[in-house]
Amino acid sequence: MRVSQADILIVPGYKGAGPEHWQTRWERRLSTARRVEQAEWSKPVREDWVKAVAEAVNASTRPVVIVAHSLGVATTVLAVPHFRHHVAGAFLVAPPDVANPKLRPKHLMTFGPYPREPLPFPSFVIASQNDPFCDYAVAEDIAHAWGALILDAGNSGHIDAESGHGPWPEGLLTFGKFVSRLSTDPLPRPDLTT
């Protein structure tokens, strides 16, 4: 699949993605990308966020590729049972540990714990060894539960503008390779291990 054949849904996390965040930059660069808007970026309500993602997926006219960061990953995974439109794949970056009682702000825990069923579409998780919001071992465990491939991003922090990932060209290159292996056809699930 080519990026131009998909509706690229950008799903930011807590507080949204500012102008220097890689998600915002990708949204400007990719012609078929659009952001899932939330009513309250700084006070996320699980039901509202999940509904917004499901509505964006279901309103799409092409196969959907989701690009989620941080709390956007949790929101995406929680929205899966409400998807009625073909999702070709999900690119999930820096999932937070929403079951960790030390997570701050504390209301982010309302998005946990993560469902542990395999995702019904190909997915790719990118996690950092020193993400302050999730131990790598936790990210690796949930990625395996979802049937996702996982990429160890080394010591990359939360993979956001604050950790030096403004343009994040390596991420965009990885995303392009991921999309190229997806299919516009809902069946069969592509083999992403080669």
For the segment 112-166, what is each residue's pLDDT rounded down to a tens digit?
A: 999 999 999 999 999 999 999 999 999 999 999 999 999 999 999 999 988 988 8
Longest dimension (CA), the chain: 42
Q: What angle do CA 22, 24, 28 make, to 5 degrees?
A: 115
What one-letter code names the amino acid at 178?
F
Cα Rg for the chain, rounded, in angstroms?
15
Beta-bridged to residue 90, according to DSSP, are: 66, 123
Burial profile 119-129: b = 16 or more Cβ within 10 angstroms, e = fewer: bebbbbbbbbe
Prediction pTM value? 0.94
User: In the chain, where are the structural domains located?
Assistant: 3-180
Q: How far apart are CA 112 and CA 114, in angstroms?
A: 5
Question: Following DSSP, what letter does each residue of 86-137 receive, concatenated?
Answer: -EEEEEEES---TT-TT-SSGGGGGG-SPP-SPPSS-EEEEE-TT-TTS-HH
Say what the pLDDT of residue 161 is. 87
pLDDT tens string 78-119: 999 999 999 999 999 999 999 999 988 888 999 999 999 999
Q: Evaluate the CA torsion angle 58, 54, 173, 116 in order and state its sign.
A: negative
Distance of CA 99 to the CA centre of its chain: 18
Q: Is the pLDDT of residue 189 over 80?
A: no
The fourth-level CATH superfamily of domain 3-180 is Alpha/Beta hydrolase fold, catalytic domain (3.40.50.1820)
- Cβ atoms of 8 and 32 within 8 Å: the answer is yes
Look-up: residue for tokens 């937070």?
A: 96
